[in-house]
Amino acid sequence: MSLTGDICVVTGAGGFLGRRMVKLLLEEEKVAEIRLLDKHVQPQLLESLEGCRGNTKLSVFEGDIRDSNDVRKACRGASVVFHIASIIDIYDALEYKEIYDVNVKGTQVLLEACIQENVMSFIYTSTIEVMGPNPKGEPIINGNEDTIYNSALKFSYSKTKKEAEERTLKAHGEMLQNGGRLATCVLRPMYIFGEGCRFLIGHMCDGIRNKDVLFRMSQREACVNPVYVGNVATGHLQAARSLKDPQKRNVIGGKFYFISDDTPHVSYSDFNHVLMSPLGFTIQDKLLLPLNLFYVFCFFLEILCMILRPIKRIVPPLNRQLLTMLNTSFTFSYEKAKKDLGYTPRYSWMEARKRTIEWLAAELPKERERIRAK
């Protein structure tokens, strides 16, 4: 089922995944219009898309996801919404209210706008972090949508994404103003890498400051399965196609799916090294401290920051929950997405790796110069 002639809204269109989603829609589908909804869309983004735009209209809607008027304008006359925008905060650097307002209330505002403006399909970008890992660091190996796990979420980010996900699934089947029904679907990608990934740039910069030696923050055996950004966008497109198909609509509507690909299962730290070793980076053999001592160090660091908070808000560079995430085996299969959505990774691991390394190689001189200038 094609999206030919559809009007698509992409929230967070100026971000890492949002940009890739817009580009994929232009390359794969003859949609009538793509509406880029974000607080700010760089003119360079539109310029970069000009070559593959064809007859598709690109419209920029700069506004706040929490503002119902902004959101309704973007949704008016649209047929499908890809809700990608969110605040990502793995350090708990922001106040809970700020994250909640965007991730939960913003999603609710968008769902209500879809009902008021008769949008038929809604795809929500969730995260693997709604599953965990939990504070005990209990592993999951090759999990699936039926895996039972006591998540006991600690991060504000994962909590708010989980609630937004629940609201999205609950909204499936809601009656639209024109008498139709809203169909919703949730996708849970693994850690997303690829061109434009700010986390990869951050790790590379840390390595530059450390004389081209990457920090080891994960034990080798703590395997995860990152997913390439192009494959995540492909999963979103397949979900939209399936929701448009009358026969599949009720099969996948109101359900969530894990999105991964064939990226090798390695630790987060070793994954960084796989991508950056061709650029001349090495990696530390061991963790900076034995893992138990590392937890104790993080505990006291968190206590110190809490004591200082009334005077000054200081965000520790590492906390116990993040350390748990970095050192817990947590891998998931995409078999159900393959079966129900018809999803298969568009990019092989070799192609994804090549593209990401080429991008990092282009960014490396700029980052060296920026760090040198400080």
Instruction: Give me the active site residues, please.
Output: 157
Element (H, E) at 188: strand 183-189
User: What is the DSSP track for 298-354?
Assistant: HHHHHHHHHHHTTT-----S--HHHHHHHTS-EEE--HHHHHHH----SS-HHHHHH
Are 190 and 140 in contact by the 8 Å Cβ rule? The answer is no
Are 85 and 38 in contact by the 8 Å Cβ rule? The answer is yes
Q: What is the phi/psi pair of residue 123, to 5°?
A: -110, 120
**Helical ranges in the chain per DSSP H:** 16-28, 43-49, 68-75, 96-100, 106-116, 156-170, 198-209, 229-244, 246-252, 268-276, 291-308, 320-326, 335-341, 349-373
How many angstroms separate the CA atoms of 352 and 70, rounded? 36
Could you tell me which of 231, 251, 249 has the C-alpha nearest to residue 343?
231
Could you tell me which of 263, 268, 261 has the C-alpha nearest to residue 324?
268
Angle at 352 between CA 346 and CA 357, to 5 degrees: 160
**Which two three-digit tokens encode residue 152?**
């006991």
How many angstroms separate the CA atoms of 183 and 48, rounded? 32
The torsion of the CA quartet 317, 125, 84, 343, rounded to 10 degrees, works out to: 120
**Which two three-digit tokens encode residue 263?**
């990226």
Q: What is the phi/psi pair of residue 9, to 5°?
A: -105, 130
Are 97 and 156 in contact by the 8 Å Cβ rule? The answer is no
**Which two three-digit tokens encode residue 353?**
């790796």
